[in-house]
């Protein structure tokens, strides 16, 4: 979830000031965001015509409101499917560990399993007083459980993979040496 899109979606509920948006973001997602990032994002949303800055109230809070263009973008973001990152750092790291001579792929798997198991236990121990935070925590638990199953699969693959050297044929393209 991008902070920018989340702020727009929250602003669709009504005018808010920066710190209020930070608290709403955390309340609704269980994640955290720096208040400075919120204000920087609000400035950009205003620049892009997606939000407008209002007057300060008696307490000095400057409220921002969503524009029609901002509301359209927020609702479009809410219903659009999420594209997953094409590269998973753990998968790339493990693929390299499996193919590099001397790399400890089994050690990586063990360390990752320990970390992931601890995260699952931490998330399951948390008590959530609202459905939004519980849903986010449940998604993380299920993602970590899938990762644990994948790590188990990787352990069985280790025995079948032999590390290998660089390709014998040099690439035809590349930066030429300077003479």
Question: Is there a domain that residue 179 lies in?
Answer: no
* 94 and 66 part of one domain: no
Q: 75-133 pLDDT, tens per residue?
A: 999 999 988 888 889 999 998 888 888 889 999 999 999 999 999 999 999 888 888 88
- DSSP structure string for 47-104: HTTSEEEEEE-TT-PEEEEE-HHHHHHHHHHHHSPPPPPS--HHHHHHHHHHHSTT--
Question: Is there a domain that residue 134 lies in?
Answer: yes
pLDDT of residue 179: 62
Asked if pLDDT for residue 8 goes beyond 90, the answer is yes
* 51 and 10 part of one domain: yes
Nearest to 163 by CA among 105, 87, 108, 88: 105
* 7 and 73 part of one domain: yes
Helices 105-125 & 131-158, crossing angle to 10 degrees? Answer: 160
Asked if pLDDT for residue 10 goes beyond 80, the answer is yes
* 65 and 99 part of one domain: no
Mean pLDDT of the chain: 90
* 95 and 142 part of one domain: yes
* 12 and 74 part of one domain: yes
Domain boundary among 79, 104, 123: 79
* 7 and 71 part of one domain: yes
Q: 26-85 pLDDT, tens per residue?
A: 888 878 899 999 999 999 999 999 999 998 999 999 999 999 999 999 999 999 998 888
Q: 115-130 pLDDT, tens per residue?
A: 999 999 999 998 888 8
Asked if pLDDT for residue 162 goes beyond 70, the answer is yes
pLDDT of residue 1: 54
* 25 and 52 part of one domain: yes
What does the pLDDT average to over 137-147?
A: 94
* 66 and 93 part of one domain: no
33: domain range? Answer: 3-79
Q: Which residue has the tokens 């300077």?
A: 178
CATH (domain of 53): 1.10.10.10
* 117 and 136 part of one domain: yes
> For the chain, what is the domain count?
2
Q: What pTM was computed for the model?
A: 0.69
């Amino acid at each position: 979830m991008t902070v920018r899109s989340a702020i727009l979606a929250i602003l669709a509920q009504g005018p808010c000031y920066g710190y209020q948006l930070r608290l709403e973001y955390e309340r609704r997602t269980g994640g955290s965001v720096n208040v400075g990032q919120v204000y920087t994002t609000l400035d950009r949303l205003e620049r892009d015509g997606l939000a407008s800055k209002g007057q300060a109230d008696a307490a000095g809070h400057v409220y921002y409101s969503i524009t029609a263009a901002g509301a359209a973008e927020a609702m479009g973001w809410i219903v659009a499917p999420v594209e997953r990152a094409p590269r998973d750092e753990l998968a790339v790291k493990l693929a390299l560990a499996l193919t590099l001579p001397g790399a400890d792929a089994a050690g990586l798997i063990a360390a990752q399993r320990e970390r992931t198991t601890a995260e699952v236990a931490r998330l399951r121990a948390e008590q959530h007083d609202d459905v939004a935070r519980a849903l986010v925590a449940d998604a993380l638990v299920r993602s970590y459980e899938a990762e644990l199953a994948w790590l188990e699969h990787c352990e069985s693959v280790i025995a079948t993979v032999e590390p290998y050297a660089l390709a014998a044929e040099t690439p035809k393209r590349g930066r030429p040496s300077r003479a």
